[in-house]
Each structure stands twice: as C-alpha cells, then as structure tokens.
C-alpha cells in the first residue's frame, strides 16, 4: 500500500482548493493507497503564515521519518503559495519521496510573466524538481509545457452529481458563487444588472462569497441597483436551497483554472454564463449547455441573459445538456480513478529515483 500525504488548506476553509481536498477526504477510497492530510493554511497575516509553514514542515518531516511516506501530493496556487510549497516539495524529494504539484493557480501565467529573471529561474527549477505536475485543463497543460520538463497530467476538477436534474425552469434568479472582486468580474456584474433591469426588472442578481463585499455593497447603493444583493459566504447546506431558486449562474472571470462553482451548479442542472479563460471552455460549450463570452463583454452577457429568460424551452434544453456534461465527464468516480492511476504509477517507481 502506498502512503500519501496531501498538503493544502484545511478542508473546512473557504475556496475551491479546500473543496477539492474535502472531496478527497470524503470520497477517496482505495485498497492500494492511503491518504493523510496536512493543513498548510488557516489565514492570518505574514507572521501566522510563517508559523503555519514551519509547523507543516515539522509535521511532514515526522510523517516521512515515521510512516514511510511514498508520495506527497501538494496543492499549489501562485505567488507566496508557490514558493512555500516549492520548499516543502524540495524537502520531501531529498528524503526520497515522490512529489506531485497539483496546480490550481488561476493566474500562474501572469505570476510567471511578471517575475524577475531570478524568480523565473527559481520557478522553473522548482517545477523541474518534482515527479509529476497536475493541471486542470489542456489550456494550462500548454502553459506548463513551456516552463518545465516534468511530466504533466491533466485532471479536471470534479463534483458529486445528484441522482436527477432538479432544475427550476421558472426561477428568475442569477447567482454568482465565489470570491467577490476584479478577477471574478464582480464589478462587470453590476453593469450587467443595470442593463438587464431596464429590459426585465424581474431578474435578480445574488453574489455569494467573500472579498470586496464592502466596496461592491457601496456601489450597489450608490447606483441604486435594486435587483442586486450581496449574500456573503455560504456553506454547502445553504447552497442546496439556493440551487432550487436559481435560473442561471454567472461567473464573468478574467482569469481561472477550472472553477468548482461552475461544476457544482452545472451538476445541479443550472446553466452558466462565463468567460473563455482557463479550463472553462472544456466544460461550457457556447449556446449548447451554457454561454461563453470574452472577459469584460458585458453587452453580450446582457443579450444572453435576456434571450435565456425569454425562452422556457431553451432553458430546459441547456439545463439538460449542462447536467449531462458533468455526469459524463466530470463525475467524482472518474476523477478519483484518474488519481488512483497516477498514484499507482508513482508508487511503482523506485523510491529515491531522481530525474
């Protein structure tokens, strides 16, 4: 049996990476592999970040020395997250343990492009000195092939799927799940809401998440947007009720990996409007199971919304296609089989074998 240590934020924390880890902790079952979990993030300022990093390193060292760890599976974003995790990866590999970097960073390409020559060299070296890199889409695979010789595997995110599609075709609510801010296109949503209200005041917009709550709330009040509310961060139980009242999920992001919010809403039969960035085009097929636009194209988003809510048959058709897409290509069972295969390949290699 291969012993695996997974490192990332606590499974009860906010955000997509925490959701991925929670799914592992709940659903991953294998006779071949056993996973233990190390939390590497619980928020706070720089001093707390340093304390947590040191704690994680000590715990990892203890596990490797006492538990005969075969693989370390590290969830990585960009910036400070990348450099901290790169140090953990180097340590594990020096101990003869295989290392997987699981890249979630929605702006890793921008992070690398804006880095100094020295930091670019460090980034490339860190990517070279692991055994496998996992990315969320074919688009991200192309990015990392330019940066490293390490083998790259595409494993898209996945979600649990309800037994049947319970989409509410009469719902007039547009919902956004995720961090509120510029990267997610939250300010564009306010422009869209203003244009939609002039044509169809029955359509409402709800933004659920953390981030720029104060700034966006002030703009809503200043612009008198009566069809927009800020719902704050919500848990899985609350989402179930919201899904039943949601006609459309809107995520007009400027940079993405493969958002869990899109997969989760589509798994509940809710069509999406999003942007053609990151891995999103792999799951949303324009005008077939949802809508894709260029980042910032608020006029096209508005047109799609008005057409969508003006045609009940179209809503039903897109809902069925959205549900089917997740069921056939992004189910948890398919996802976990891919991970089991990758773990098996690495565990089969000789411990301590370096490239």
Q: Which residue has the higher pLDDT, 15 or 220?
A: 220
> Are residue 188 and residue 239 in the same domain, yes or no?
yes
Number of domains in the chain: 2
Specify the pLDDT at position 237.
85
> Are residue 322 and residue 195 in the same domain, yes or no?
yes
> Are residue 131 and residue 187 in the same domain, yes or no?
no
Mean pLDDT score across all residues of the chain: 94
> Are residue 128 and residue 208 in the same domain, yes or no?
no
What are the backbone dihedrals phi and psi of residue 230, each rounded to the nearest 5 degrees, phi first?
Answer: -105, 120
Specify the pLDDT at position 352.
44
Domain that holds residue 92: 2-158+332-347
| 44 to 17, 48, 51, 306: CA distances (angstroms) | 17, 6, 10, 42
In a domain, residue 164? The reply is no
pLDDT digits (tens, 9 = 90+) for 95-106: 999 999 999 988
In a domain, residue 354? The reply is no
What are the backbone dihedrals phi and psi of residue 29, each rounded to the nearest 5 degrees, phi first?
Answer: -135, 130
> Are residue 129 and residue 238 in the same domain, yes or no?
no
> For the chain, what percent of residues have pLDDT higher than 90?
87
| 153 to 128, 137, 338, 345: CA distances (angstroms) | 14, 9, 10, 12
In a domain, residue 163? The reply is no
> Are residue 82 and residue 224 in the same domain, yes or no?
no
Specify the pLDDT at position 68.
86
In a domain, residue 124? The reply is yes
Q: Which residue has the higher pLDDT, 91 or 352?
A: 91
In a domain, residue 353? The reply is no
Using the predicted structure, report yes or no on whether residue 355 has a pLDDT greater than 70: no
Using the predicted structure, report yes or no on whether residue 262 has a pLDDT greater than 80: yes
In a domain, residue 243? The reply is yes
In whole angstroms, give the CA distance from residue 318 to residue 62.
51
> Are residue 315 and residue 336 in the same domain, yes or no?
no
DSSP of 151-209, one letter per residue? -EEE----B---SS----TT--EEEEES-BSTTTTHHHHHHHHHHHHHH-TT-EEEEES
In the chain, which ranges are E strands? 2-8, 33-39, 71-76, 98-103, 132-135, 152-154, 173-177, 204-208, 228-230, 246-251, 272-275, 290-293
pTM equals 0.86
In whole angstroms, give the CA distance from residue 257 to residue 265.
16
> Are residue 103 and residue 125 in the same domain, yes or no?
yes
pLDDT band of 266, cuts 50, 70, 90: very high
Helix (H) or strand (E) segment spanning residue 240 = helix 236-244
In whole angstroms, give the CA distance from residue 167 to residue 171.
9
In whole angstroms, give the CA distance from residue 230 to residue 64.
45
Using the predicted structure, report yes or no on whether residue 218 has a pLDDT greater than 50: yes
Distance of CA 213 to the CA centre of its chain: 20
Highest mean pLDDT among 60-74, 301-315, 339-353: 301-315
pLDDT digits (tens, 9 = 90+) for 122-180: 999 999 999 999 999 999 999 999 999 999 999 999 999 999 999 999 999 999 999 99
- What CATH number is associated with residue 102? 3.40.50.2000
> Are residue 26 and residue 141 in the same domain, yes or no?
yes
pLDDT band of 41, cuts 50, 70, 90: confident
pLDDT band of 312, cuts 50, 70, 90: very high
> Are residue 190 and residue 279 in the same domain, yes or no?
yes
What are the backbone dihedrals phi and psi of residue 68, each rounded to the nearest 5 degrees, phi first?
Answer: 55, 60
Specify the pLDDT at position 56.
94
Residue 156 near residue 282, CB atoms below 8 Å: yes
In a domain, residue 352? The reply is no
In a domain, residue 168? The reply is no
Using the predicted structure, report yes or no on whether residue 349 has a pLDDT greater than 90: no
> Are residue 43 and residue 139 in the same domain, yes or no?
yes
**Average pLDDT, integer, range 50-72:** 92
Specify the pLDDT at position 353.
44
pLDDT digits (tens, 9 = 90+) for 176-194: 999 999 999 999 999 999 9
**Average pLDDT, integer, range 40-69:** 86
Using the predicted structure, report yes or no on whether residue 43 has a pLDDT greater than 80: no
> Are residue 276 and residue 306 in the same domain, yes or no?
yes
**Average pLDDT, integer, range 230-257:** 93
């Amino acid at each position: 049996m291969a012993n695996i240590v997974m490192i990332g934020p606590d499974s009860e924390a906010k955000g997509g990476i925490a959701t991925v880890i929670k799914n592992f902790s709940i659903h991953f079952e294998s006779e071949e592999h056993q996973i233990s979990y190390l939390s590497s993030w619980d928020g706070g300022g720089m001093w707390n970040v340093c304390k947590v990093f040191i704690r994680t390193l000590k715990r990892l060292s203890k596990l490797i020395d006492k538990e005969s760890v075969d693989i370390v599976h590290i969830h990585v974003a960009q910036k400070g997250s990348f450099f901290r995790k790169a140090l953990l990866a180097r340590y594990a590999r020096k101990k003869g343990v295989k290392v997987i970097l699981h890249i979630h960073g929605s702006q890793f390409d921008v992070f690398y492009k804006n880095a100094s020559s020295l930091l670019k060299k460090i980034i490339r070296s860190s990517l070279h000195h692991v055994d496998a890199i996992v990315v969320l889409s074919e688009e991200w695979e192309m990015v990392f092939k330019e940066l490293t010789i390490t083998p790259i595997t595409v494993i898209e995110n996945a979600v649990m799927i309800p037994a049947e599609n319970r989409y509410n075709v009469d719902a007039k609510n547009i919902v956004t799940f995720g961090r509120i801010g510029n990267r997610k296109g939250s300010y564009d949503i306010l422009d869209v809401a203003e244009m939609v209200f002039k044509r169809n005041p029955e359509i409402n917009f709800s933004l659920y998440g953390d981030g720029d709550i104060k700034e966006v709330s002030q703009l809503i009040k200043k612009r008198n947007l009566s069809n927009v509310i800020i719902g704050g961060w919500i848990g899985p139980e609350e989402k179930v009720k919201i899904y039943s009242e949601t006609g459309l999920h809107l995520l007009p992001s400027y940079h993405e990996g493969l958002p869990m919010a899109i997969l989760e809403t589509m798994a509940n039969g809710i069509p999406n409007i999003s942007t053609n960035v990151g891995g999103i085009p792999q799951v949303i097929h324009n005008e077939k199971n949802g809508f894709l636009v260029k980042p910032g194209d608020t006029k096209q988003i508005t047109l799609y919304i008005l057409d969508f809510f003006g045609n009940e048959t179209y809503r039903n058709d897109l809902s069925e296609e959205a549900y089917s897409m997740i069921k056939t290509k992004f189910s948890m069972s398919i996802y976990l089989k891919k991970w089991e295969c990758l773990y098996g390949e690495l565990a089969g290699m000789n411990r301590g074998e370096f490239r």
